[in-house]
Amino acid sequence: MVPQAFLNALQNLYPPERISTRQAILEQHARDQSAHPPHLPDLVVWPLTTEEVSQTLQLAQQHRVPVTPWGAGTSIEGNPIPIHGGLVMDFSRMDRILAIHEEDFQVTVQPGVLYKDMNKVLARYGLFFAPDPGANASIGGMLANNAAGIRTVKYGATRDNVLALEVVLADGRVIHTGSRSVKQSSGYDLTHLFVGSEGTLGVITQATLKLAPIPAHVSAAVARFPTVADAAAAVFEIIGAGLEPTALELLDATAMRVLNTDPDIPHFPEQPTLFMEFASSHQAALEDTLDQVRELCAEHYAQGFDTGVGRQERARIWRARHHLFEAHVRYFAGQQFLVGDAAVPISRYPELIARTAALMEKMGLVGSLLGHAGDGNIHTIVFYPPDDPQARDRALAFNDAFVELALELEGTSTGEHGVGLGKRKFMAREHGLALDVMRQLKHTLDPYHILNPGKVLPE
Ligand SMILES: Cc1cc2nc3c(=O)[nH]c(=O)nc-3n(C[C@H](O)[C@H](O)[C@H](O)COP(=O)(O)OP(=O)(O)OC[C@H]3O[C@@H](n4cnc5c(N)ncnc54)[C@H](O)[C@@H]3O)c2cc1C
């Protein structure tokens, strides 16, 4: 339980409709979209201003109450689960677009705005924010997890598309990092320190983001292969040839079977498949690129190469791809699941894919391989019966082996989902002595460890 004096102070700060200890509200803020066990916070507040966030953190630090920022709760590594209880600070009502700097291709927003809503507004200006995780995440959550998506292969992850932040520190101080200049060389890069820190170093209350113009000409291609290893080898060739896809996704045969349950898309053969998209300001250049891609795929035994995908069909395929995680949960209804996420340098991608597929088969696991292949990123989703502890242990052992393999191939334990709870055990192996520096940074910025405690750094 939080101290009564803290509760009283917060009740003076927030009107009754923006502070809650109701069980249903606590339950909504106890779990994300992962299989990590839920944990109830003691109370939830919905700030509207930076000043409220600052005062709340001052009180929390004074009373040593844990504070977990909350965006849309769509994480899949336990990142926003308040495992030590305390206060959840829900940013869903701090969701305004503050300024659109159309001529500079920039937008300044509050953290609670959902990226899909933001992109609908930006489309009127011919602009968009490129990182696009499948779920309708908040900008605060995307910044905190350094989220990425199908467009990252061309435009980078969230970290590559942020220029400036307003951050409230654990003691309530409000700082501004970076600037609206796209070139910045002044001082330590605090902006990118907070991006990916999962709410453990500070609370983001404002962000200025880089935007991209919506491309004039876009073309899609779908290629299917006899094995995932062939598909992954083609990915390496396409990226290596400098063809710069705007999306390059790999789905194995199981993922294709699940994708086919979407009634709005054409039925695809259930084979390892690459979904690709290329953009250009000239139609002729686009056609030339597609010819090169076709040749590279053929060299890796592609059994079909379809470029006649229209704009509406493309949108439906990407929508289905974005909802593939939920589609898996529906397809394997009643089963427990474990989502894996790792990334490697693109030259090691074919090996990662071939060995991960072989491992899944050897361990007798049911599941899929799918991912943002152009970034060297792959996700595994394995399913097991909830009443079978041995199957669960096998799934956990598979996930560990998958991450170890990515690290062996000079990659990372998480390409985009963040460390949260599930990846903490790999932090020492991945970062060595640098982990000590991370701990020192945490202690400097949050000496009483009130900010999202128990995440990122192993105990
Ligand atoms: C179906 C599905 C598909 C997905 N696909 C992808 C994908 O393709 N790529 C990808 O990267 N992710 C993906 N995700 C994971 C998830 O959507 C992202 O991690 C996303 O960034 C989480 O944003 P959120 O708003 O839901 O944040 P939350 O889950 O609410 O929080 C995420 C983290 O951010 C912290 N936080 C939230 N707001 C703030 C703030 N204002 N200041 C500081 N810290 C804050 C929280 O404490 C937590 O640690 C997917 C999830 C689902 C369910």
pLDDT given at position 283: 85
76: closest CA among 337, 389, 321?
337
Instruction: Report the chain's C-alpha Rg in angstroms.
Output: 22
Mean pLDDT of the chain: 96
Q: What is the mean pLDDT of residues 232-260?
A: 96
Query: Which atom of ligand 1 is nearest the CA belonging to 114?
Result: 25
What is the rounded CA–CA span in Å between residue 102 and residue 85? 42
Task: Give the E-state strand segments of 179-232 in sequence order.
Answer: 203-210, 212-213, 217-224
Centroid of ligand 1 to alpha carbon of 310 (angstroms):
31
Q: Does the pTM of the predicted model rise above 0.75? A: yes
Residue 86 has a pLDDT of: 98
Question: Is the pLDDT assigned to residue 134 strictly greater than 90?
Answer: no
What does the pLDDT read at residue 99? Answer: 98
Asked if the model's pLDDT at residue 308 lies above 90, the reply is no
* Predicted confidence (pLDDT) per residue in 219-231, tens digit: 999 999 999 999 9
How far is ligand 1, taken at its centre, from the CA of residue 416, in Å? Answer: 9
| pLDDT at res. 186 | 97
Whether the CB-CB separation of 144 and 199 falls below 8 Å is answered with yes
Contact 41, 23 (CB under 8 A): no
Confidence (pLDDT) at 281: 82
Ligand 1 centre distance from Cα of residue 167 (Å): 18
Tens-place pLDDT, residues 158-173: 999 999 999 999 999 9
Nearest CA to ligand 1 atom 46: 80
Q: Which of 103, 200, 196 is nearest to 157 (CA)?
A: 196
For domain 328-431, the CATH class is alpha beta
For the segment(s) 97-213, the CATH number from 3.30.70.270, 3.30.465.10, 3.50.50.60, 3.30.2320.50 is: 3.30.465.10
pLDDT digits (tens, 9 = 90+) for 198-245: 999 999 999 999 999 998 889 999 999 999 999 999 999 999 999 999
| Probe target for ligand 1 pocket from 48, 74, 142, 423, with the most ligand atoms within 8 Å of CB | 74
CATH class of the structural domain 4-92: alpha beta
Question: How far apart (Å, rounded) are the C-alpha atoms in residues 139 and 80?
Answer: 14
**What are the boundaries of each domain within the chain?**
4-92, 97-213, 217-325, 328-431
* Domain 217-325 class, CATH top level: alpha beta
Residue predicted with more confidence, 388 or 308: 388
Least-confidence region, from 23-32, 192-201, 310-319:
310-319
User: Per-residue pLDDT for 140 more than 90?
Assistant: yes
> Which residues have CB under 6 Å of ligand 1?
32-33, 68-76, 79-80, 91, 111, 133-135, 137-138, 140-142, 144-145, 147-149, 198-199, 203-204, 325-326, 416-417, 452
The residues near 446 (Cβ < 8 Å, ≥ 6 apart) are 169, 170, 200, 201, 202
Taking residues 27-46, what's their average pLDDT?
A: 96
Q: What is the mean pLDDT of residues 5-26?
A: 98
Would the pLDDT of 280 be above 90?
no
CB-neighbour burial class of residue 333 (10 A; exposed 0-12, middle 13-18, buried 19+): exposed
Average pLDDT over residues 119-133: 96
383-434: pLDDT as tens digits: 999 999 999 999 999 999 999 999 999 999 999 999 999 999 999 999 999 9
- The pLDDT-based confidence of 312 (bands split at 50, 70, 90) is confident
4-92 and 328-431 have identical folds: no
Question: Which of 145, 152, 177, 457 gets mutated to test ligand 1 (max ligand atoms within 8 A of its CB)?
Answer: 145
Direct distance between the N- and C-terminal alpha carbons of the chain, in angstroms, rounded to an integer: 22
